[in-house]
Amino acid sequence: MRRKGEDCKAVGSPVVRAHALNLKDFSGKRMRLLGIETSCDETAAAIVERDASGRGTILSNIVRSQYAEHAPYGGVVPELAARAHVSHLDHIIARAATEAGVALASVDGVAATAGPGLIGGVLVGLTTAKALAAALGKPLVAVNHLEAHALTARLTDGLSFPYLLLLVSGGHSQFVLVRGVGDYERWGTTIDDALGEAFDKVAKLLGLGNPGGPEVERQALLGDPTRFRFPRPLLKEDRLDFSFSGLKTAVRLAAEQIAPLAPQDVADICAGFQLAVTEVVTTRAAAALGRFCAELPDAPPVLVVAGGVAANQAIGGGLRHTAERMGARLVVPPIPLCTDNGVMVAWAGAERLALGDSDDFAAAAKARWPLDSADMALGSGLGHGD
Ligand code: KG4
Ligand code: ZN
Protein backbone atom coordinates (compact mmCIF):
# COMPACT_ATOMS: atom_id res chain seq x y z
CA MET A 1 0.00 0.00 0.00
CA ARG A 2 2.86 2.38 0.73
CA ARG A 3 4.69 1.69 -2.51
CA LYS A 4 5.08 4.49 -5.00
CA GLY A 5 2.91 4.40 -8.13
CA GLU A 6 5.85 3.53 -10.37
CA ASP A 7 6.42 0.35 -8.40
CA CYS A 8 3.16 -1.03 -9.74
CA LYS A 9 4.84 -1.47 -13.10
CA ALA A 10 7.33 -3.83 -11.54
CA VAL A 11 4.58 -6.38 -10.90
CA GLY A 12 2.81 -5.45 -14.13
CA SER A 13 3.04 -8.16 -16.72
CA PRO A 14 2.28 -11.43 -14.88
CA VAL A 15 -0.55 -9.81 -12.93
CA VAL A 16 -1.97 -8.15 -16.02
CA ARG A 17 -2.13 -11.56 -17.70
CA ALA A 18 -3.98 -13.07 -14.75
CA HIS A 19 -6.42 -10.19 -14.78
CA ALA A 20 -7.03 -10.51 -18.51
CA LEU A 21 -7.91 -14.18 -18.09
CA ASN A 22 -10.51 -13.27 -15.51
CA LEU A 23 -12.27 -10.57 -17.49
CA LYS A 24 -15.61 -12.26 -18.18
CA ASP A 25 -18.18 -10.99 -20.60
CA PHE A 26 -20.29 -8.91 -18.23
CA SER A 27 -22.77 -7.53 -20.73
CA GLY A 28 -26.26 -8.53 -19.66
CA LYS A 29 -25.06 -10.17 -16.45
CA ARG A 30 -25.48 -9.29 -12.79
CA MET A 31 -22.28 -8.04 -11.21
CA ARG A 32 -21.06 -6.76 -7.87
CA LEU A 33 -18.31 -4.20 -7.63
CA LEU A 34 -16.22 -2.96 -4.74
CA GLY A 35 -15.60 0.80 -5.05
CA ILE A 36 -12.83 2.68 -3.24
CA GLU A 37 -12.63 6.48 -2.89
CA THR A 38 -9.62 8.26 -1.34
CA SER A 39 -9.04 11.31 -3.55
CA CYS A 40 -9.63 13.99 -0.92
CA ASP A 41 -10.63 13.85 2.75
CA GLU A 42 -13.14 11.00 2.71
CA THR A 43 -11.99 7.41 3.06
CA ALA A 44 -14.79 5.41 1.51
CA ALA A 45 -15.67 1.95 0.27
CA ALA A 46 -18.91 0.47 -0.99
CA ILE A 47 -20.35 -2.56 -2.73
CA VAL A 48 -22.87 -1.99 -5.49
CA GLU A 49 -24.77 -4.50 -7.59
CA ARG A 50 -25.72 -3.88 -11.19
CA ASP A 51 -28.36 -6.23 -12.54
CA ALA A 52 -28.69 -7.59 -16.06
CA SER A 53 -31.01 -4.76 -17.08
CA GLY A 54 -28.55 -2.10 -15.86
CA ARG A 55 -30.34 -1.23 -12.61
CA GLY A 56 -28.17 -0.65 -9.57
CA THR A 57 -28.57 -1.53 -5.89
CA ILE A 58 -26.37 -0.20 -3.09
CA LEU A 59 -25.37 -3.11 -0.86
CA SER A 60 -23.15 -1.07 1.46
CA ASN A 61 -21.75 2.46 1.71
CA ILE A 62 -19.06 3.24 4.30
CA VAL A 63 -17.61 6.76 4.49
CA ARG A 64 -15.16 8.10 7.05
CA SER A 65 -14.67 11.87 6.87
CA GLN A 66 -11.41 13.33 8.11
CA TYR A 67 -12.86 16.57 9.50
CA ALA A 68 -11.22 16.03 12.89
CA GLU A 69 -7.74 15.49 11.43
CA HIS A 70 -7.84 18.67 9.35
CA ALA A 71 -9.86 20.94 11.64
CA PRO A 72 -6.84 22.54 13.38
CA TYR A 73 -5.45 23.65 9.98
CA GLY A 74 -8.61 25.19 8.51
CA GLY A 75 -8.35 23.10 5.34
CA VAL A 76 -7.33 19.69 4.00
CA VAL A 77 -3.62 18.91 4.53
CA PRO A 78 -2.67 16.45 1.74
CA GLU A 79 -0.02 14.55 3.71
CA LEU A 80 -2.34 14.08 6.69
CA ALA A 81 -5.13 12.98 4.37
CA ALA A 82 -2.94 10.31 2.76
CA ARG A 83 -1.81 9.00 6.15
CA ALA A 84 -5.38 8.79 7.42
CA HIS A 85 -6.40 6.86 4.28
CA VAL A 86 -3.55 4.39 4.95
CA SER A 87 -4.69 3.96 8.56
CA HIS A 88 -8.39 3.41 7.86
CA LEU A 89 -8.92 2.06 4.35
CA ASP A 90 -8.43 -1.68 5.04
CA HIS A 91 -10.92 -1.57 7.89
CA ILE A 92 -13.44 0.40 5.83
CA ILE A 93 -13.24 -2.08 2.96
CA ALA A 94 -13.79 -4.95 5.40
CA ARG A 95 -16.86 -3.15 6.82
CA ALA A 96 -18.22 -2.55 3.33
CA ALA A 97 -18.00 -6.28 2.62
CA THR A 98 -19.53 -7.27 5.98
CA GLU A 99 -22.44 -4.83 5.74
CA ALA A 100 -23.15 -5.94 2.19
CA GLY A 101 -23.03 -9.58 3.25
CA VAL A 102 -20.67 -10.18 0.35
CA ALA A 103 -17.32 -11.96 0.66
CA LEU A 104 -14.62 -9.93 -1.05
CA ALA A 105 -13.64 -13.06 -2.96
CA SER A 106 -17.05 -13.04 -4.65
CA VAL A 107 -17.02 -9.50 -6.05
CA ASP A 108 -16.79 -9.31 -9.83
CA GLY A 109 -14.38 -6.39 -9.94
CA VAL A 110 -12.54 -3.75 -7.92
CA ALA A 111 -12.91 -0.07 -8.81
CA ALA A 112 -10.94 2.79 -7.30
CA THR A 113 -10.65 6.49 -7.96
CA ALA A 114 -7.43 6.98 -9.93
CA GLY A 115 -7.74 10.78 -10.11
CA PRO A 116 -8.14 13.69 -10.19
CA GLY A 117 -7.36 14.45 -6.58
CA LEU A 118 -4.68 14.72 -3.94
CA ILE A 119 -2.05 12.38 -5.30
CA GLY A 120 -1.02 10.76 -2.00
CA GLY A 121 -4.58 9.74 -1.22
CA VAL A 122 -5.29 8.57 -4.76
CA LEU A 123 -2.18 6.37 -4.62
CA VAL A 124 -3.36 4.76 -1.38
CA GLY A 125 -6.77 3.82 -2.82
CA LEU A 126 -5.60 2.79 -6.26
CA THR A 127 -2.70 0.69 -4.98
CA THR A 128 -4.99 -1.04 -2.50
CA ALA A 129 -7.43 -1.77 -5.33
CA LYS A 130 -4.63 -3.19 -7.48
CA ALA A 131 -3.47 -5.43 -4.64
CA LEU A 132 -7.01 -6.69 -4.02
CA ALA A 133 -7.77 -7.22 -7.69
CA ALA A 134 -4.50 -9.11 -8.14
CA ALA A 135 -5.02 -11.25 -5.04
CA LEU A 136 -8.64 -12.05 -5.94
CA GLY A 137 -7.98 -12.47 -9.66
CA LYS A 138 -10.65 -9.87 -10.54
CA PRO A 139 -10.67 -7.02 -13.03
CA LEU A 140 -9.51 -3.57 -11.94
CA VAL A 141 -11.31 -0.40 -12.99
CA ALA A 142 -9.33 2.82 -12.50
CA VAL A 143 -12.14 5.37 -12.24
CA ASN A 144 -12.09 9.07 -13.01
CA HIS A 145 -13.59 10.76 -9.94
CA LEU A 146 -15.49 13.23 -12.13
CA GLU A 147 -16.95 10.38 -14.16
CA ALA A 148 -18.09 8.76 -10.92
CA HIS A 149 -19.95 11.96 -9.94
CA ALA A 150 -21.30 12.21 -13.49
CA LEU A 151 -22.82 8.71 -13.56
CA THR A 152 -24.31 8.60 -10.03
CA ALA A 153 -27.72 9.82 -11.18
CA ARG A 154 -28.04 6.74 -13.40
CA LEU A 155 -27.83 4.59 -10.29
CA THR A 156 -30.12 6.72 -8.13
CA ASP A 157 -32.66 7.84 -10.72
CA GLY A 158 -32.21 5.39 -13.60
CA LEU A 159 -31.44 8.27 -15.98
CA SER A 160 -30.72 7.58 -19.61
CA PHE A 161 -28.27 9.59 -21.70
CA PRO A 162 -27.85 12.42 -22.53
CA TYR A 163 -28.11 14.84 -19.64
CA LEU A 164 -26.42 17.96 -18.35
CA LEU A 165 -24.31 17.73 -15.19
CA LEU A 166 -23.51 20.62 -12.86
CA LEU A 167 -20.72 19.44 -10.57
CA VAL A 168 -20.11 21.84 -7.69
CA SER A 169 -17.78 20.63 -4.95
CA GLY A 170 -14.68 21.70 -3.04
CA GLY A 171 -12.47 20.90 -6.03
CA HIS A 172 -14.72 21.33 -9.07
CA SER A 173 -17.29 23.66 -10.58
CA GLN A 174 -18.24 22.58 -14.04
CA PHE A 175 -20.99 21.95 -16.56
CA VAL A 176 -20.55 18.68 -18.41
CA LEU A 177 -22.69 17.26 -21.20
CA VAL A 178 -22.93 13.55 -20.40
CA ARG A 179 -23.62 11.75 -23.69
CA GLY A 180 -22.70 8.24 -22.58
CA VAL A 181 -20.22 6.27 -20.50
CA GLY A 182 -16.83 7.74 -21.41
CA ASP A 183 -18.45 10.36 -23.64
CA TYR A 184 -18.29 13.76 -21.97
CA GLU A 185 -18.04 17.34 -23.13
CA ARG A 186 -17.18 20.03 -20.64
CA TRP A 187 -19.08 23.22 -21.36
CA GLY A 188 -17.72 25.38 -18.57
CA THR A 189 -15.51 25.37 -15.52
CA THR A 190 -14.11 27.72 -12.94
CA ILE A 191 -11.22 29.88 -14.00
CA ASP A 192 -10.01 30.15 -10.38
CA ASP A 193 -11.63 28.81 -7.18
CA ALA A 194 -14.21 26.03 -7.08
CA LEU A 195 -17.56 27.01 -5.56
CA GLY A 196 -17.15 24.85 -2.45
CA GLU A 197 -13.65 26.27 -2.05
CA ALA A 198 -15.11 29.80 -2.17
CA PHE A 199 -17.60 28.86 0.57
CA ASP A 200 -14.74 27.40 2.63
CA LYS A 201 -12.51 30.47 2.17
CA VAL A 202 -15.31 32.88 3.06
CA ALA A 203 -16.04 30.80 6.17
CA LYS A 204 -12.38 30.85 7.14
CA LEU A 205 -12.00 34.61 6.77
CA LEU A 206 -15.14 35.11 8.86
CA GLY A 207 -13.79 32.81 11.57
CA LEU A 208 -16.38 30.06 10.92
CA GLY A 209 -15.58 26.34 11.07
CA ASN A 210 -14.55 23.90 8.35
CA PRO A 211 -16.07 22.65 6.06
CA GLY A 212 -17.31 26.15 5.50
CA GLY A 213 -20.28 25.57 3.20
CA PRO A 214 -22.75 24.36 5.82
CA GLU A 215 -21.57 27.07 8.27
CA VAL A 216 -22.03 29.86 5.73
CA GLU A 217 -25.47 28.50 4.84
CA ARG A 218 -26.48 28.40 8.51
CA GLN A 219 -25.30 32.00 9.03
CA ALA A 220 -26.96 33.16 5.81
CA LEU A 221 -30.35 32.07 7.16
CA LEU A 222 -29.92 34.64 9.95
CA GLY A 223 -28.71 37.46 7.72
CA ASP A 224 -29.98 40.22 5.47
CA PRO A 225 -28.92 39.38 1.88
CA THR A 226 -29.44 42.98 0.71
CA ARG A 227 -27.06 44.74 3.14
CA PHE A 228 -23.95 43.89 1.09
CA ARG A 229 -24.11 43.87 -2.69
CA PHE A 230 -21.25 41.61 -3.76
CA PRO A 231 -20.11 41.24 -7.40
CA ARG A 232 -21.55 38.56 -9.70
CA PRO A 233 -18.36 37.58 -11.60
CA LEU A 234 -18.61 36.88 -15.37
CA LEU A 235 -22.40 37.18 -15.16
CA LYS A 236 -22.67 39.40 -18.21
CA GLU A 237 -20.48 37.14 -20.37
CA ASP A 238 -21.86 34.43 -22.66
CA ARG A 239 -19.44 31.73 -21.54
CA LEU A 240 -20.51 29.00 -19.12
CA ASP A 241 -17.42 29.44 -16.93
CA PHE A 242 -17.31 30.53 -13.30
CA SER A 243 -14.98 32.79 -11.34
CA PHE A 244 -15.21 33.08 -7.57
CA SER A 245 -11.91 34.49 -6.40
CA GLY A 246 -12.85 38.18 -6.98
CA LEU A 247 -16.06 37.62 -5.07
CA LYS A 248 -14.10 36.13 -2.19
CA THR A 249 -11.82 39.20 -2.21
CA ALA A 250 -14.85 41.51 -2.17
CA VAL A 251 -16.13 39.64 0.88
CA ARG A 252 -12.74 40.01 2.59
CA LEU A 253 -12.61 43.77 1.88
CA ALA A 254 -16.16 44.27 3.17
CA ALA A 255 -15.33 42.35 6.34
CA GLU A 256 -12.11 44.33 6.88
CA GLN A 257 -13.95 47.63 6.45
CA ILE A 258 -16.40 46.97 9.28
CA ALA A 259 -14.12 44.92 11.58
CA PRO A 260 -14.49 43.93 14.38
CA LEU A 261 -17.46 41.92 13.17
CA ALA A 262 -20.59 41.51 15.27
CA PRO A 263 -22.53 38.24 14.82
CA GLN A 264 -25.14 40.08 12.70
CA ASP A 265 -22.36 41.39 10.40
CA VAL A 266 -21.15 37.82 9.82
CA ALA A 267 -24.70 36.65 9.08
CA ASP A 268 -25.34 39.55 6.66
CA ILE A 269 -22.05 38.94 4.80
CA CYS A 270 -22.86 35.22 4.48
CA ALA A 271 -26.37 36.03 3.21
CA GLY A 272 -24.97 38.51 0.66
CA PHE A 273 -22.32 36.04 -0.51
CA GLN A 274 -24.79 33.17 -0.83
CA LEU A 275 -27.22 35.34 -2.78
CA ALA A 276 -24.44 36.37 -5.19
CA VAL A 277 -23.31 32.80 -5.89
CA THR A 278 -26.89 31.55 -6.17
CA GLU A 279 -27.58 34.18 -8.80
CA VAL A 280 -24.40 33.27 -10.70
CA VAL A 281 -25.05 29.52 -10.59
CA THR A 282 -28.73 29.74 -11.57
CA THR A 283 -28.06 32.20 -14.41
CA ARG A 284 -25.33 29.93 -15.76
CA ALA A 285 -27.56 26.87 -15.37
CA ALA A 286 -30.28 28.57 -17.41
CA ALA A 287 -27.75 29.33 -20.15
CA ALA A 288 -26.39 25.77 -20.09
CA LEU A 289 -29.93 24.33 -20.32
CA GLY A 290 -30.60 26.70 -23.22
CA ARG A 291 -27.57 25.32 -25.01
CA PHE A 292 -28.65 21.75 -24.22
CA CYS A 293 -32.08 22.36 -25.78
CA ALA A 294 -30.55 24.03 -28.84
CA GLU A 295 -27.94 21.33 -29.46
CA LEU A 296 -30.02 18.31 -28.51
CA PRO A 297 -33.56 19.29 -29.54
CA ASP A 298 -34.82 15.69 -29.39
CA ALA A 299 -33.56 14.97 -25.88
CA PRO A 300 -35.71 15.79 -22.85
CA PRO A 301 -33.72 18.42 -20.92
CA VAL A 302 -32.36 17.11 -17.63
CA LEU A 303 -30.03 18.89 -15.22
CA VAL A 304 -28.20 16.72 -12.68
CA VAL A 305 -26.47 18.40 -9.73
CA ALA A 306 -23.62 16.67 -7.87
CA GLY A 307 -20.89 17.61 -5.42
CA GLY A 308 -21.05 18.80 -1.81
CA VAL A 309 -22.48 22.23 -2.70
CA ALA A 310 -25.62 20.43 -3.94
CA ALA A 311 -26.52 20.28 -0.22
CA ASN A 312 -27.05 24.06 -0.18
CA GLN A 313 -30.78 24.73 0.04
CA ALA A 314 -30.62 28.25 -1.42
CA ILE A 315 -28.68 27.13 -4.48
CA GLY A 316 -30.80 23.97 -4.81
CA GLY A 317 -34.00 26.01 -4.58
CA GLY A 318 -32.70 28.44 -7.19
CA LEU A 319 -31.81 25.58 -9.53
CA ARG A 320 -35.23 23.98 -9.06
CA HIS A 321 -36.89 27.24 -10.00
CA THR A 322 -34.58 27.64 -13.02
CA ALA A 323 -35.24 24.10 -14.22
CA GLU A 324 -39.02 24.58 -13.89
CA ARG A 325 -38.85 27.82 -15.82
CA MET A 326 -36.87 26.11 -18.59
CA GLY A 327 -39.17 23.06 -18.73
CA ALA A 328 -36.31 20.83 -17.58
CA ARG A 329 -36.14 18.06 -15.01
CA LEU A 330 -33.80 18.65 -12.06
CA VAL A 331 -32.19 15.59 -10.51
CA VAL A 332 -30.27 15.87 -7.25
CA PRO A 333 -29.15 12.47 -5.95
CA PRO A 334 -29.39 12.02 -2.15
CA ILE A 335 -26.76 14.31 -0.59
CA PRO A 336 -24.59 11.46 0.81
CA LEU A 337 -24.21 10.30 -2.81
CA CYS A 338 -23.50 13.85 -4.06
CA THR A 339 -20.52 14.20 -1.73
CA ASP A 340 -17.54 11.89 -2.11
CA ASN A 341 -18.35 8.22 -1.55
CA GLY A 342 -17.43 4.71 -2.66
CA VAL A 343 -20.85 3.96 -4.19
CA MET A 344 -20.29 6.30 -7.11
CA VAL A 345 -16.90 4.71 -7.79
CA ALA A 346 -18.28 1.17 -7.66
CA TRP A 347 -21.15 2.20 -9.94
CA ALA A 348 -18.86 3.90 -12.49
CA GLY A 349 -16.71 0.75 -12.40
CA ALA A 350 -19.79 -1.39 -13.04
CA GLU A 351 -20.90 0.82 -15.93
CA ARG A 352 -17.49 0.49 -17.55
CA LEU A 353 -17.13 -3.21 -16.88
CA ALA A 354 -20.56 -3.83 -18.39
CA LEU A 355 -19.14 -2.37 -21.59
CA GLY A 356 -16.14 -4.71 -21.38
CA ASP A 357 -13.86 -1.92 -20.27
CA SER A 358 -11.29 -2.40 -17.49
CA ASP A 359 -7.73 -1.32 -16.74
CA ASP A 360 -4.42 -3.07 -16.40
CA PHE A 361 -2.18 -2.82 -13.39
CA ALA A 362 -0.04 -0.11 -14.93
CA ALA A 363 -2.97 2.34 -14.52
CA ALA A 364 -1.47 5.50 -13.03
CA ALA A 365 -2.73 7.70 -10.21
CA LYS A 366 -3.29 11.21 -11.60
CA ALA A 367 -3.53 14.52 -9.75
CA ARG A 368 -5.17 16.05 -12.83
CA TRP A 369 -7.45 14.09 -15.12
CA PRO A 370 -9.97 16.13 -17.09
CA LEU A 371 -13.03 14.34 -18.43
CA ASP A 372 -12.73 15.37 -22.06
CA SER A 373 -9.88 16.24 -24.36
CA ALA A 374 -11.02 19.87 -24.71
CA ASP A 375 -10.27 20.24 -21.00
CA MET A 376 -6.62 19.51 -21.63
CA ALA A 377 -6.29 22.65 -23.71
CA LEU A 378 -7.60 24.81 -20.87
CA GLY A 379 -4.38 24.19 -18.98
CA SER A 380 -3.46 23.92 -15.36
CA GLY A 381 -4.04 25.86 -12.18
CA LEU A 382 -7.74 25.17 -11.93
CA GLY A 383 -7.89 23.36 -8.64
CA HIS A 384 -7.47 19.61 -8.28
CA GLY A 385 -8.76 18.38 -11.61
CA ASP A 386 -10.97 21.09 -13.02
O1 KG4 B 1 -18.13 16.85 -2.90
P2 KG4 B 1 -17.49 17.19 -1.60
O3 KG4 B 1 -17.94 16.43 -0.36
O4 KG4 B 1 -15.94 17.00 -1.63
C5 KG4 B 1 -15.14 17.47 -2.69
O6 KG4 B 1 -14.78 18.63 -2.64
O7 KG4 B 1 -14.86 16.67 -3.60
O8 KG4 B 1 -17.72 18.75 -1.39
C9 KG4 B 1 -17.25 19.43 -0.27
C10 KG4 B 1 -17.52 20.89 -0.49
C11 KG4 B 1 -16.88 21.77 0.58
O12 KG4 B 1 -16.23 22.83 -0.04
C13 KG4 B 1 -18.08 22.21 1.39
O14 KG4 B 1 -17.88 23.46 2.02
C15 KG4 B 1 -19.16 22.27 0.34
O16 KG4 B 1 -18.93 21.14 -0.48
N17 KG4 B 1 -20.49 22.20 0.95
C18 KG4 B 1 -21.38 23.20 0.91
C19 KG4 B 1 -22.49 22.78 1.69
N20 KG4 B 1 -22.22 21.53 2.18
C21 KG4 B 1 -20.99 21.20 1.71
N22 KG4 B 1 -21.35 24.39 0.30
C23 KG4 B 1 -22.43 25.20 0.45
N24 KG4 B 1 -23.51 24.88 1.20
C25 KG4 B 1 -23.58 23.68 1.83
N26 KG4 B 1 -24.65 23.38 2.57
ZN1 ZN C 1 -15.89 14.79 -5.49
Same domain, 190 and 93: no
126 and 203 both lie in a single domain = no
382 assigned to some structural domain: no
Residues 182 and 210 in one domain: yes
Please state, in angstroms and rounded to a whole number, the distance separating the CA atoms of residues 178 and 195. 21
- Give the CATH number of the domain where residue 200 resides: 3.30.420.40
Nearest CA owner, ligand 1 atom 5: 170
Local mean pLDDT, 10-residue blocks, the chain (386 residues): 29 38 65 97 96 96 92 86 96 98 98 97 98 98 97 97 96 96 96 96 93 95 98 90 96 98 98 98 98 98 96 98 98 96 98 96 96 54 39
- Give domain status of residue 383, yes or no: no
pLDDT of res. 27: 66
Q: Is the dihedral of CA 204, 206, 210, 216 positive or negative?
A: negative
pLDDT of residue 374: 58
Q: Are residues 180 and 313 in the same domain?
A: yes
In a domain, 386, yes or no: no
Same-domain check for residues 79 and 202: no
Burial class (CB within 10 angstroms; exposed 0-12, middle 13-18, buried 19+) of 7: exposed
Give the domain range for residue 277.
162-337
In this prediction, residue 74 carries a pLDDT of 76
What's the confidence (pLDDT) of residue 75? 80
Q: Which residues contact 300 (CB under 8 A, 6 or more apart)?
A: 329
**Number of domains into which the chain is organized:** 2
At residue 235, the pLDDT reads: 85
What is the model's pLDDT at position 375?
54
Task: Look at residue 210 in the predicted model and tell me its pLDDT.
Answer: 81
126 in the same domain as 173: no
Give the residues surrounding ligand 1 with Cβ less than 6 Å away. 40, 169-171, 196-197, 199-200, 211-214, 217, 307-309, 311-312, 339-340
**Separation of CA 65 from chain center:** 14
| Three-class secondary structure of residue 109 per DSSP | strand
Kindly state whether residue 167 falls inside one of the protein's structural domains. yes
Q: Cα–Cα distance between 155 and 346 in angstroms, integer?
A: 10
Strand pairing class (173-180; 183-188): antiparallel
pTM value is 0.90
Ligand 1 mutation target, pool 205, 339, 341, 384, most atoms within 8 A of CB:
339
Predicted local distance difference test score (pLDDT) of residue 67: 83
Q: Do residues 351 and 327 share a domain?
A: no
**Do 212 and 300 lie in a common domain?**
yes
Same domain flag for 113 and 140: yes
Question: Which of 38, 174, 309, 344 should be mutated for ligand 1, with most atoms under 8 A from CB?
Answer: 309
CB count in 10 Å sphere of residue 306: 27
H or E, element range at 144: strand 140-144
19 shares its domain with 42 = yes
Burial label, 11 (beta-carbon count in 10 A; 0-12, 13-18, 19+): middle
Ligand 1 atom having least distance to the Cα of 307? 1
Same domain, 65 and 189: no
Coil, strand or helix at 268: helix
| Same-domain check for residues 324 and 225 | yes
Instruction: Check residue 274 and give its pLDDT.
Output: 98
Q: Please give the distance, rounded to the nearest whole angstrom, from the Cα atom of residue 113 to the centre of ligand 2.
A: 10
